[in-house]
Amino acid sequence: DHQKSLILSSSSQFPPPQGVKLSYGTSGFRADASILQSTVFRVGILAALRSLRTQSVIGLMITASHNQVSDNGIKVGDPSGGMLTQDWEPFADSIANAPTPQELLQLVEEFVAKEGIRFDGSRPAKVLLGRDTRPSGDSLLEAAKQGISSIVGASAVDMGIVTTPQLHWMVRAKNKGLKAAELDYFEQLSSSYRCLLDLIPNGSKVEKAENKLVVDGANGVGSEKLEGLKKSLDGLDIEIRNTGKEGVLNEGVGADFVQKEKILPQEFGPKDVGIRCASLDGDADRLVYFTLPSESSSKIDLVDGDKILTLFAVFIKEQLSILTEGGQMVEDGYHARLGVIQTAYANGASTNYLRQLGLEIALTPTGVKYLHEKAAEYDVGIYFEANGHGTILFSDHFLSWLEAKNNELASRSKAILIHKGWSICKWNGLYQDLPSRQLKVKVIDRTAVVTENAETIAVKPPGIQEAINAEIAKYPCGRCFIRPSGTEDVVRVYAEASTQEAADSLANSVAKIAD
């Protein structure tokens, strides 16, 4: 019929690359942009099917985040605003690697039958498309559109160049029947920020210098969007650098560079001593802060995702205990469960600090999709990767409880939401990071490494964990693990120890074992 011949004819325009096996990975498909046309086309088909299956709007984002500018990638956003459900990843892998249009069609037909997807035209598929500033984005976007329109009735809405968080937000807003334009996004952020400022108790005031924020836009989409947001944001003095007019995306700039190298990005220098600075990544879904402690070196004090998480955790824990203390609040017997979620890359000092605060800590494998899923199990789930990906999730139940409490409290309590008025130094001083080192090892087959226990133990190849343990035993406070990257063809090594030299040397010895 028409649907079949449409898939066959359009997919014949997008032959898959020879001799490469692609997988959906930590955050969608990623590779050199030159080999991605067929993958993106096929993910377009998947997105349209997902839209039919969920009877909702689906998101498709074309980006390779912090990776080099010549790479690109594609990831799918589910109706709730989160990532594609993991049950659909095997289908994504199989269609991406189907060698011929006939085999592709057969996989699609089988999957459609299994998922009970119907093409009755009652609610046609709708997909929102976004991309970052990579030059390959334009033609990949075309391929995605072709994929979407090879499902009968499906439509693609091009949101243009957007950040990853914007696209997720737009998909969620659309599905809730809310306004979903870029201006609405900026308006929500700036009005929430205004609310926060209004709730600062009179006594605590922010020093003038602390009001300034210099942002490294990674030469990507984040800088342009932040310019837009600035227009509706009062109370914060933002200066944006690395806007992409001169430098190259993610090269010597951006959150990944700053977090791994722990030195100033391009365009920052001695004049920035003591100022609060921040770096975004190529699709602006990572955020880390830093300060330059001394003019004489470009070494920075990093305030990474672990510390952002810690600040949120400390604050929310305090607010929750204010809410549940004082008799009346405990009466209803409700105790909000607060959870913090980390990965093995979280600095050990952060985990110790959080544990000592009495917080419940869960560990998941690397990747927002795992952290997000775990965080959703709590009333308040705070998650961050050390590299700056993260957010806070509040359950619907908790929000309605809070609303009821709020009405009750409004008249008689001023103790809720006390702001701290801390400086970035005070914040950074919550705990001292343990020295760490991250390395990547190019290997022939990264899938030879198989891990367990949230990636903290390598169970394959046989004997490798014993060899790693023998190295770790040589270092006081040593911790080290290896895992295959889900976005690059490498095995990653992460090590911590009591000194930087020791962390470097532990990482180097384990890298030799992994090689």
* Residues at the interface with ligand NG1 (CB under 6 A): 26-27, 65, 345, 366-367, 385, 387, 389, 485-488, 492
Cβ closest to Zn ion, residue 132 vs residue 433: 132
65 is catalytic: yes
Q: Known binder of ligand: residue 11?
A: no
Residue from 56, 65, 136, 509 carrying the catalytic annotation: 65
- Write out the H or E segment, with its range, that includes residue 82: none
Residue 487 contact partner, candidates ligand NG1, Zn ion, none, CB within 5 to 8 A by sort of partner: ligand NG1
- Residue 494 Cα distances to 209, 363, 371, angstroms: 36, 16, 19
Q: Which is nearer to ligand NG1, 24 or 88 (CB)?
A: 24
Do the beta carbons of residue 415 and residue 374 sit within 8 Å? Answer: no
The tokens describing 383, both together, are: 């998650």
Nearest approach in angstroms of CB 122 to ligand NG1 is: 36
CB of 111 to ligand NG1, least distance (A): 26
66 neighbors 255 (Cβ within 8 angstroms): yes
Q: Is position 486 annotated in a ligand binding site?
A: yes
Select from 166-174, 175-183, 244-252, 274-282 the region that touches Zn ion (CB under 5 A): 274-282
Q: Please report how close the Cβ of residue 5 comes to ligand NG1 at its closest, in angstroms.
A: 37
Cα 81 to Cα 502: distance, rounded to the nearest angstrom: 42
Task: Specify the 3-state DSSP secondary structure of 330.
Answer: helix
State yes or no: residue 385 binds Zn ion (CB under 5 A). Answer: no
Give the Cα separation of 231 and 421 in Å (integer): 24
* Residue 236 DSSP one-character state: -
Query: Contact 185/175 with Cβ under 8 angstroms?
Result: no
Q: Would you say 499 is a known binding-site residue?
A: no
Closest distance to ligand NG1 from the beta carbon of 308 (Å): 14
Overall size of the chain counted in residues: 515
256 lines the binding site for Zn ion (CB under 5 A): no
Q: Do 361 and 340 meet the contact criterion of CB atoms below 8 Å apart?
A: yes
CA distances from 66 to 5, 260, 374, 446, 495 (A): 39, 12, 24, 20, 22
Q: Is 285 in the site for Zn ion (CB under 5 A)?
A: yes
Q: Does 216 bind Zn ion (CB under 5 A)?
A: no
Residue number with the smallest Cβ distance to Zn ion: 65
Q: For Zn ion, what does the binding mask look like between residues 52 and 71, x meaning CB under 5 A?
A: -------------x------
283 binds, among Zn ion, ligand NG1, none (CB under 5 to 8 A by kind): Zn ion
Task: Please indicate if the annotation marks 227 as binding a ligand.
Answer: no
Give the pair of three-digit tokens for residue 241. 């650098």
Of 8, 43, 7, which is closest to residue 23 (Cα–Cα)? 43
488 in contact with Zn ion (CB under 5 A): no
Distance CA 28, CA 283 (A): 14
Residue ranges for the known binding site for substrate are: 385-387, 483-487, 492
Residue ranges for the known binding site for Mg(2+) are: 65, 281, 283, 285
Catalytic positions are 65
Residue ranges for the known binding site are: 65, 281, 283, 285, 385-387, 483-487, 492
Binding residues (CB under 5 A) for Zn ion: these are 65, 281, 283, 285
